[in-house]
Amino acid sequence: MTQQNIDDYLREIGRHPSMVVIPNGVDASLFAEDSDEAPPALEVPPKQIVQLGRYIKGKSQLDTIRAFERVLRSEPDTRLLLCGVVEDVTYHAAVVDLVKQMGLDNKVTVSGPRLDVAAILRTSRVFAMPSQFEAQSIGFLDALASGIQVVANRIPSFAFANSFAGVSLVDTKNCEAYGRRAQLLRADRHLAGYTLHDTADRYMTIARKFVQPLRVSA
């Protein structure tokens, strides 16, 4: 279960001896320099900021667009790519309208869901994650594994990455601060504890705890 699940359980019911958080894992091999992953289907600008996520208010794409306008003041050739499932049609329309209102039509691409996420992350420069809430975001872990700079909201579920190289946790409602942190850098990171192998090991440890008593009783 996620940390949020545990927090909710503790608040409503109380402590249980078998509660444990198992972080999601990421396939880091997808982001290796010698990866066989195909390049993105869309042409990637030399300087690209990307946000991946459903179009809903909680993912805060509007905040990213406003912060991006600040980025353009110092990096005018930067581009922004937004990708995700259109879950809230009204919110998606608001995203498209804001891009037009700010005159950013030739700077911002509002796209739908993508299957080439690893390729997009490997070829982009900054990953934006202004979510108001998350449990254990696979997209966030993918971005960490890719080496791309990460600028994310300062929420509890992202706190574990605060000390990682190239990760900035800020109040993404503050567009000035959000925009300043979206600098075009990359970072080398070691995701010990967050690979698919690590996740599998944790599940196996838990399974053994339950299997061992059954063998003894048999």
pLDDT at 195 over 90: no
Are 149 and 125 in contact by the 8 Å Cβ rule? The answer is: yes
Q: Note the pLDDT of residue 166.
A: 87
Task: Name the pLDDT band for 193 (thresholds 50, 70, 90).
Answer: low
Query: Does 63 or 214 have the greater pLDDT score?
Result: 63
- CA-CA distance, 7 to 178, in Å (whole number)? 28
- What pLDDT does residue 186 have? 47
Q: Where are the domains of the chain?
A: 39-191
Looking at per-residue pLDDT, the higher value among 11 and 66 belongs to: 66
Instruction: Report, as an integer, the average pLDDT of 74-85.
Output: 94
The mean per-residue pLDDT over the stretch 51-69 comes to 96
Beta bridge partners of 50: 81, 127
Band (115; pLDDT cuts 50, 70, 90)? confident
DSSP 60-120: -HHHHHHHHHHHHHH-TT-EEEEE-----HHHHHHHHHHHHHTT-TTTEEE----S-HHHH
8 Å CB contact between 208 and 163: no
Taking all residues of the chain, what is their mean pLDDT, rounded to a whole number?
80
Comparing 122 with 29, the larger pLDDT belongs to 122
Contact 103, 75 (CB under 8 A): no
**Contact 83/120 with Cβ under 8 angstroms?**
yes
pLDDT band at 189 (very low <50, low <70, confident <90, very high): very low
Specify the length of the chain in residues: 218
The CATH class given to the 39-191 domain equals alpha beta
Closest to 50 in 3D by CA, of 164, 139, 157: 139
The CA–CA distances, whole Å, from 4 to 10, 19, 204 equal 10, 12, 22
Residue type, 71: V
Whether the model clears a pTM of 0.75, i.e. scores above it, the answer is no
Question: What region does 197 belong to: left with phi over 0, alpha with psi -120 to 50, or beta?
Answer: alpha
Which of 153, 130, 146 has its CA nearest to residue 65? 130
101 falls in which pLDDT band (50, 70, 90)? very high
pLDDT (average), residues 24-41: 58
Instruction: Provide the β-strand partners of residue 128.
Output: 151
Q: How far apart are CA 160 and CA 33, in angstroms?
A: 25
